[in-house]
Amino acid sequence: MMSRAILFLFAFLGLFASSWVLAAPVKELSARQIGDLQCNADRLTIVGALATMQGTLSELASSASSDPATAAGVQSVQSDVTDAQQAIGTIAKALFTGQTAPASARDQVKSALLSANSTLSGLTSTDATVSSLLQKATSELKVAGAAGEGVVANCN
């Protein structure tokens, strides 16, 4: 999972480099270039946040293993996040080969993250470690969600 995230980082950084850093002897940034910059920052953020969140979810899975309800919820969130990462992979592949990213992949990212949010927000624990990891995963998901909205707003 981690190496996949790193691959995406390179893919996006590659786009970033070709579209902005290398192309422009920097004088003034056009609105378009600023949009591209923000778009790429949002892409990096969502990829990073989801990779970090998977790490937190793995910790949660072992910390909550004696609590079947929480463990099942965590497993469902893991599967949603994996789903979102796969859809992002589809988008990255399309961008990398100069094709338009399929709208269905974008919808898949959104619905997977909404599903993860809805499951995650229903999970609670009296165990301090589990509870704190749940909060951590929730805030990582929030970062990913906000970056996803940024992608929709800034990547044309």
Ligand X SMILES: *[C@@H]1O[C@H](CO)[C@@H](O)[C@H](O)[C@H]1NC(C)=O
User: Which residues would be at the binding site for ligand X (CB under 6 A)?
Assistant: 114, 117-118, 121, 145
**For residue 139, how many other CB atoms are within 10 A of its CB?**
13
- Which two tokens mark 11? 């893919």
How far apart are alpha carbons 11 and 89 in whole angstroms?
A: 10
- Hey, is 30 helix, strand or coil? coil
**Closer CB to ligand X, 11 or 49, in the complex:** 49
**Closer CB to ligand X, 36 or 78, in the complex:** 78
Minimum CB separation of residue 147 from ligand X in Å reads: 12
- Which two tokens mark 112? 């997977």
**Closer CB to ligand X, 79 or 117, in the complex:** 117
Minimum CB separation of residue 136 from ligand X in Å reads: 15
98 Ramachandran zone, left/alpha/beta (phi>0; psi -120 to 50): left
Minimum CB separation of residue 93 from ligand X in Å reads: 26
**Closer CB to ligand X, 61 or 114, in the complex:** 114
- Whether the CB-CB separation of 141 and 116 falls below 8 Å is answered with yes
